[in-house]
Amino acid sequence: MRSGWRWFGSHPLLRPLPLAFLVLNAAYAPLQALVPAAMQDLGYGAAGYSHVLLVEMLGTLAAGLLLGWQGDRLPLRAVVLGGYSLAALGLLYLALSGTYPAHLIAALSVGAGLGISGPPLMALVGRQVPPELRGRAFGLLGAVSMLGMPLALLAVAPLAERWSQGTFYAVAAGTLVGSAALLWRALAAASLPDPSVGHSASSASTNS
């Protein structure tokens, strides 16, 4: 057990993945925590909040459909970096413009961007981790990712009255960009070929 965790921590690619999954899920927190009040201020109320959630879900669904349709042709590293960047751009736009359309655009960007980033990373883990350590790796990533949202909400709550909403969204966007840069460096450091998403997924299922 101990040697398995040491191997996981020493791997140049896998080392930053727990942080990446933490950030991936924490990025949803500002939308969850701040949008209800913003919709009230803009005069859209509960209906407006429902629209934001619906658009976010549609973005995630569209990302899943794209991966299922063109996954074999999408370069994995570009997909991950592009997904994080898309979500960051949506949050940054919302930070600059707190209008109702900006909330919808940000929700679509976050849903699509983060929805298209997670599955390729999980497939990559399945390809890189030996079978005897795969359960531990996925368990750790699952536990860390589940902590992302509640930890981010706890961080947002005491600052909600002190910071503007735009500040929260700008910080979230910057965190996503930093996480994307960390992942890109890790992928480069691992000296991996640039496989397609579909190839990674098929390799992961074959090794399982």
Location of structure tokens 């991966």:
67
The pLDDT tens digits for 172-204 are 899 888 888 888 777 665 544 444 444 444 444
Q: How far is 170 from 106, CA to CA, in rounded Å?
A: 12
Q: What is the SS3 assignment for 75?
A: strand
Residue 129 clears pLDDT 70, i.e. is over it: yes
pLDDT at res. 49: 93
Distance between CA atoms of 125 and 116, rounded to whole angstroms?
A: 15
Strands (DSSP E) contained in 104-175 are none
Closest CA to 184 of 78, 86, 91, 94: 78
Mean pLDDT of 110-125: 85
Token pair of 205, please? 């299922």
Nearest residue to 49 (alpha-carbon basis) of 123, 104, 8, 108: 104
pLDDT tens across 78-93, in order?
A: 888 889 999 999 999 9
Q: Answer yes or no: is pLDDT of 76 > 60.
A: yes
Domain at 23-207, CATH from 3.30.499.10, 1.20.1250.20, 3.40.50.620, 3.40.50.720: 1.20.1250.20
Q: List the Cα angle 64/68/70 in 5-degree steps.
A: 110
Supply the pLDDT for residue 142: 79
Domain boundaries, the chain: 23-207
Tell me which DSSP letter residue 44 carries. Answer: -
Which pLDDT does position 107 carry in this prediction?
A: 93
The mean per-residue pLDDT over the stretch 103-128 comes to 87
Mean pLDDT taken over the chain: 80
Helix (H, G, I), strand (E, B) or coil at 12: coil
Question: What residues have CB less than 8 Å from 116, skipping those under 6 apart?
Answer: 63, 66, 67, 79, 82, 83, 86
